[in-house]
Structure 1
Amino acid sequence: MKKRILKWVRRYYSNVVNSIAFYPALIALSFLVVSYLLLMFDFSDPGKNLKAKLLDFISLKDASTARTIASTIAGGILSLTVFSFSMVMLLLNQAASNMTNRVLGSLIGNRFQQVVLGFYIGTIVYALFLLSTIRDIDSGVYVPALSVYLLILLTIIDIFLFIYFLHYITESVKYETIIARIYIKTLDQLKSHCHLKSDAPSLLELPNAHTTFTARESGYFQGIEEEMLLTLCRRHNWIIRFHYPVGSFIVYGTPILTIYTSNPVTEDMEKQLDVALNFYRGEPIERNPYYGFKQLTEVAVKALSPGINDPGTAILSLHALIDLLTYRINHHPAQTITDEHGTERVILQEETIEELFEKSILPIWDYGNEDRLLRTTLQQMLLQMKPLAKTEKGKELIQAYFQKTEQL
């Protein structure tokens, strides 16, 4: 039961963390805690002495003035928050309409805009909580002057954040900025995923005795929990070979992997194995760099559609794809996972460079082969790419695609 709960948490953790409301909620909660602690200090004996003696020049004597400041700031920052959220929604709507829905994940998960929105909401929470503590009393030292002045400081910071936020959103709506972000994130993950200089498939001789494991649910195969899977393999002396690469949609009941073992595989073992497999929706590049290839391809295809007709954006995506493919053609992923003794326990199914070319370049070519600008750009990119390939197989693949562009 605990492992089932753990799998459920893994499934929804990414959605929660990348939600546009996650960081704003955390920051707002932090501001609430800070306001409570500062108010406690404000009304404590050290706070009263500080306001009455050491910092008399900033002491706020009038409760109505403090209340007016807090209410004015709360209303003003609320307007800033609404305007900022509207700009974010406009950006998301424009990206979804003119590019692809798949890029929304990276835009929603942008940390800077979440921090800015969280700072706004936190300031509002702070102001409202402070407003509820201000009372009309005879002695001015009981007015939370320190908290009010901190609120003024936070408001000044909010104003400067808003000014920079305008510049940031203006840059973010540019297609080249969105494409560059996808490219950078994909390249970083690709370097981590494909670090071998040569292709190293498994040379392990697999035993004849085996058991087929079928998918327990329909969904997108998003990878494995490596340590959990290796523990199972060591404990039961298994060798596991996957049939599909990460990112594939698996229909319920489809054979997803083969367990090579001479011992019987019990239902309890299969349940433990199922917990080590991740199935959930979405295309997080952090989990699979090939999602970045797919997103860039979809951006290019959408830009070439008659409704958009923007070959310039398609060419930007094509440039990013060619650069990523150039790296991938010379670097290869590890296709096996070994235990601490060096024994191969898991054999993975990886996207080949031929499949990546077919999935990335051919859809763009099918849509844009009649566009002279795109055709010329693709030919130039392939000519630049060919001498960079370090294997004859790679050069032949590039040459085949170049010839395809000349046949039109």
Structure 2
Amino acid sequence: MKDKLLKLLYKAYNLKDKIAFFPSIIAIAGAIFAYIMMYLENKGISKYILEFLPELVINDTETARAILTTFIGGLISIMVFSFSMVMILLNQASSNFSPRLLPGLISNRRHQIILGIYLFTIIYCIFILVFIEPSGKKYQLPGFSVLLSIFFMVNSLAAFIYFIHSISQEIQINNILYNIFSSSENRLKKIIEKEKEIDSSKPNSNNWTTYNAKSSGYFNTISTETLLHIAKENNIKIEIVSNKGSYCNEDAILFKVDKKIDNSIIEKIYSNFNFSKSELIDDNYLLAFKQITEVAVKSMSPGINDPGTAINAIDYLSQLFILRVQKQDIDLVQEKNTILIILNSVNFKDLIYNVMAPLRTYCTHDVIIVRKLLVLLENLKKKATLNTYKEVVNNEIDLLLKDAEREIANKNDFNKLKEYISNSNKN
């Protein structure tokens, strides 16, 4: 029962990234609030306010209907325009930058809330309009509710103005890159801080019992706290073999356990793995390296030819790599100085190769971009504390110079690149 509840909570948590989640919640709130106002109107709230503050109550049926009808039609037009602007943003980001950016743009919380404000006001106005009855001697027009619709309309117009400002900012590649970088940076810093608390080494898991994945998909998240509780409760150690964020095929080795355990415990461990068909940076910082690299490569394509964007992307990659070299290739979770959970991730060698390989393929013809990449690698070599990391960086420098020598026609440009490397090594 607890395992099913955890899965339901995870699915509910993922709903927040869907474009329709918050608008739906706010729209339901609009319907509920309209019914509350209907109840208050039946209790005579408009009649009561009319006696003390008549200027706050609209007491003409035709005026009220005209106001509500105008609000409904106008807001529907505004909502259609806003939705069209979002589609333009997504189409431009996909064609000019990278299709992988779309999930992050769709899950923009501010735009979801603005869409919800529109729906709230439209639904509220529709219900109040239906509530207005033909005039009669004993009938009191819901004037106070109509007055609130004016307030909600003004609020919607303010949200629309903010939306225009926000969408103009979101469409800029600098802001897109910064948002990707910021999410990954925060995630990396948290991991590095946790790693500093570990004072034990990784146990040997070669002879541990292996268990395969039951389904395929992107291995996005895992509940380490629940796994830690299972490990302590059953006196076992667990190693997560599959890399977080990678695509896990069915029947591939998913995790290992240091001893044989009951099937009920195995099922509890399986229930803590969450697979999906998409990737999010909040769940996996490695996706930021992939997205920023794709933006840099796409910007250097003949159809776009935007070296400035590539340089900005490389700057962000440089900052992320400087953080990454402060981290080990594995994550360890301990309890009372005993390692209970081992989390494998993409090692530094594979990570930097996956970033540099496409950049070397598409960008080595541009001497400015090559120099920028050399600056990145040289800074990384200075920041690296492990000799293995430094060896990996030196290897990438050699590969970059070889590709640059082949692609750069002007020998003087290439000699300046070699001169930069020589001066950096002397310093």
**Residue 201 (structure 1) shift:** 8.7
Separation of aligned partners in 1, 2:393 and 2:271: 41
Q: In structure 2, what is the equivalent of residue 280 of structure 1?
A: 276
Separation of aligned partners in 1, 2:360 and 2:326: 23
In structure 1, stretches of 5+ residues that fail to align are none
Q: In structure 1, what is the equivalent of residue 209 of structure 2?
A: 211
Q: In structure 2, what is the equivalent of residue 136 of structure 1?
A: 134
> Could you tell me whether the CA contact under 8 Å between 2:49 and 2:57 is conserved in 1?
no
Judged with a 3 Å threshold, the aligned counterparts in structure 2 of structure 1 residues 60 and 140 are, in CA distance, closer, same or farther, namely: farther
Question: Which residue of 49, 59, 72 corresponds with 2:57?
Answer: 59
Q: In structure 1, what is the equivalent of residue 422 of structure 2?
A: none
Q: In structure 2, what is the equivalent of residue 319 of structure 1?
A: 315
Separation of aligned partners in 2, 1:397 and 1:249: 25
> Could you tell me whether the CA contact under 8 Å between 2:213 and 2:253 is conserved in 1?
yes
Tell me which moved more, 358-367 or 185-194: 358-367
Tell me which moved more, 378-387 or 184-193: 378-387
Q: Confirm or deny that 1:374 pairs with 2:372.
A: no
Q: In structure 1, what is the equivalent of residue 400 of structure 2?
A: 405
Q: In structure 1, what is the equivalent of residue 347 of structure 2?
A: 352
Q: In structure 2, what is the equivalent of residue 30 of structure 1?
A: 29
Separation of aligned partners in 1, 2:329 and 2:92: 36
Amino acid at match of 2:229: T
Q: Confirm or deny that 1:40 pairs with 2:39.
A: yes
Q: In structure 2, what is the equivalent of residue 250 of structure 1?
A: 248
SS at match of 1:64: helix
Bigger RCO of structures 1 and 2 (CA < 8 A, at least 6 apart): 1
Judged with a 3 Å threshold, the aligned counterparts in structure 2 of structure 1 residues 94 and 336 are, in CA distance, closer, same or farther, namely: same
Judged with a 3 Å threshold, the aligned counterparts in structure 2 of structure 1 residues 254 and 394 are, in CA distance, closer, same or farther, namely: closer
Judged with a 3 Å threshold, the aligned counterparts in structure 2 of structure 1 residues 219 and 372 are, in CA distance, closer, same or farther, namely: same
Q: In structure 1, what is the equivalent of residue 148 of structure 2?
A: 150
In structure 2, stretches of 5+ residues that fail to align are 406-427
Amino acid at match of 1:233: A
Separation of aligned partners in 1, 2:200 and 2:302: 46
**Residue 50 (structure 1) shift:** 1.6
Amino acid at match of 1:17: K
Q: In structure 1, what is the equivalent of residue 413 of structure 2?
A: none
Q: In structure 2, what is the equivalent of residue 189 of structure 1?
A: 187
Judged with a 3 Å threshold, the aligned counterparts in structure 2 of structure 1 residues 375 and 132 are, in CA distance, closer, same or farther, namely: same
Amino acid at match of 1:24: P
Q: In structure 1, what is the equivalent of residue 104 of structure 2?
A: 106
> Could you tell me whether the CA contact under 8 Å between 1:195 and 1:333 is conserved in 2?
no
SS at match of 1:195: helix
**Residue 267 (structure 1) shift:** 2.9
Judged with a 3 Å threshold, the aligned counterparts in structure 2 of structure 1 residues 43 and 197 are, in CA distance, closer, same or farther, namely: closer
Q: In structure 1, what is the equivalent of residue 305 of structure 2?
A: 309
> Could you tell me whether the CA contact under 8 Å between 1:335 and 1:349 is conserved in 2?
yes
Tell me which moved more, 153-162 or 107-116: 153-162
TM-score by length of 1: 0.90
CA RMSD of aligned residues (A): 2.5
Amino acid at match of 1:13: A
Q: Deviations over 1:53-100 (max 9, x none)?
A: 111123222112111110110000000000000000111111112222
Separation of aligned partners in 1, 2:26 and 2:282: 24
SS at match of 1:244: coil
Judged with a 3 Å threshold, the aligned counterparts in structure 2 of structure 1 residues 44 and 334 are, in CA distance, closer, same or farther, namely: farther
Amino acid at match of 1:146: F
Judged with a 3 Å threshold, the aligned counterparts in structure 2 of structure 1 residues 226 and 197 are, in CA distance, closer, same or farther, namely: closer
Tell me which moved more, 132-141 or 146-155: 132-141
SS at match of 1:161: helix
> Could you tell me whether the CA contact under 8 Å between 1:241 and 1:258 is conserved in 2?
yes
1:322-337 superposed matches below 5 A:
322-332=318-328, 335-337=331-333
Amino acid at match of 1:124: I
State the percentage of identical aligned residues.
32
> Could you tell me whether the CA contact under 8 Å between 1:200 and 1:335 is conserved in 2?
no
Q: Confirm or deny that 1:271 pairs with 2:270.
A: no
Separation of aligned partners in 2, 1:201 and 1:359: 30
Tell me which moved more, 389-398 or 142-151: 389-398
